């Protein structure tokens, strides 16, 4: 995964782990507090201090004896928070910039990908997306520019948005990925090969990218690619099977 922070790509896992550890400490407190609240609710009264201390001891002892439940609880809490963020802004996630989409116009499931043309893992994921589109007539894919890997990424995003405006997004997207890194030469070559003539003002480019940064941060994106499917967030080149499963789960809901 390419890091939003600009750290080396391999650092994404470490950043995520550190975040989870800090969240874990708070989660233990929430679990203890939740158990006490549950006890009070069941008894129909506020727990006395001895009751609270007893429950806190029980919960603490259980967590110390079974620490493996903490990552699972953190994951569920995280996904619940992301689902709320997605639900509150679903139209913003799933409405593409002009023609930056493919598949069924009114698909029953929308797969959103935050990507960067300099991200090798985004390039790696491209065939998985193409396969899913070929196999699923009711899937819509929306691409959101998230240029986090430097000036080349930003320059490529600006031309990509212009291609989307002119109806050439898919061809430009695939062509630039095939050429490799978004160098000035490769961007120009892809633009010429596709025949991109539309333009997007710098102000509109900045507005679109800022919106995408905000949407990505709201679902805890640490880099690219980041996928939003239904109420789920998947980070990194998770592969065809994981994406297909997430699409099936979104469709089932």
Specify the 3-state DSSP secondary structure of 3: strand
- CB 111 within 8 Å of CB 138: no
Residue 73 CB burial class (10 angstroms; 0-12, 13-18, ≥19): middle
- Provide DSSP, 115-149: E-TT-HHHHHHHHHHHHHHHH-TTEEEEEEE---S
pTM of the predicted structure, to 2 decimals = 0.76
Q: What mean pLDDT do residues 116-130 have?
A: 98
- CB 234 within 8 Å of CB 22: no
pLDDT digits (tens, 9 = 90+) for 196-207: 999 999 999 999
246 vs 156: CA distance, rounded Å = 29
209 vs 47: CA distance, rounded Å = 50
Task: Delimit the domains of the chain by residue range.
Answer: 10-67, 92-252
238 vs 226: CA distance, rounded Å = 9
pLDDT value for 200? 98
29: pLDDT strictly greater than 90: no
11 vs 75: CA distance, rounded Å = 19
92-252: which CATH topology? Glutaredoxin (3.40.30)
Q: What mean pLDDT do residues 234-243 have?
A: 97
pLDDT digits (tens, 9 = 90+) for 61-94: 887 887 887 777 777 777 788 889 999 999 999 9
- Angle between helical axes of 151-165 and 169-179 (0-180°, round to 10): 150
């Amino acid at each position: 995964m390419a890091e939003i922070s600009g750290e080396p790509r391999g650092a994404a896992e470490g950043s995520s782990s550190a975040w989870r550890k800090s969240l874990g400490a708070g989660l233990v407190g929430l679990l203890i507090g939740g158990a006490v609240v549950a006890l009070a609710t069941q008894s129909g009264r506020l727990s006395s201090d001895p009751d609270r201390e007893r429950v806190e001891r029980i919960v603490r002892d259980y967590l110390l004896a079974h620490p493996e439940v903490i990552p699972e609880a953190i994951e569920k809490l995280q996904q619940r928070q992301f689902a709320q963020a997605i639900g509150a802004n679903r139209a913003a996630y799933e409405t593409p910039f002009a023609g930056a989409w493919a598949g069924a116009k009114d698909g029953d499931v929308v797969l959103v990908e935050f990507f960067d043309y300099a991200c090798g893992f985004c390039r790696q994921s491209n065939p998985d997306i193409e396969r899913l589109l070929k196999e699923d007539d009711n899937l819509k894919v929306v691409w959101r520019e998230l240029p986090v890997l430097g000036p080349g990424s930003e320059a490529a995003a600006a031309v990509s948005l212009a291609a989307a405006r002119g109806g050439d997004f898919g061809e430009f997207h695939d062509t630039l990925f095939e050429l490799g890194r978004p160098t000035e030469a490769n961007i120009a070559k892809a633009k010429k090969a596709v025949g991109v003539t539309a333009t997007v003002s710098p102000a509109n480019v900045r507005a679109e990218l800022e919106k995408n940064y905000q949407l990505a941060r709201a679902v805890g994106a640490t880099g690219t690619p980041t996928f939003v499917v239904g109420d789920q967030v998947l980070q990194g080149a998770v592969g065809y099977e994981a994406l297909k499963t997430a699409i099936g789960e979104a469709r089932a809901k």
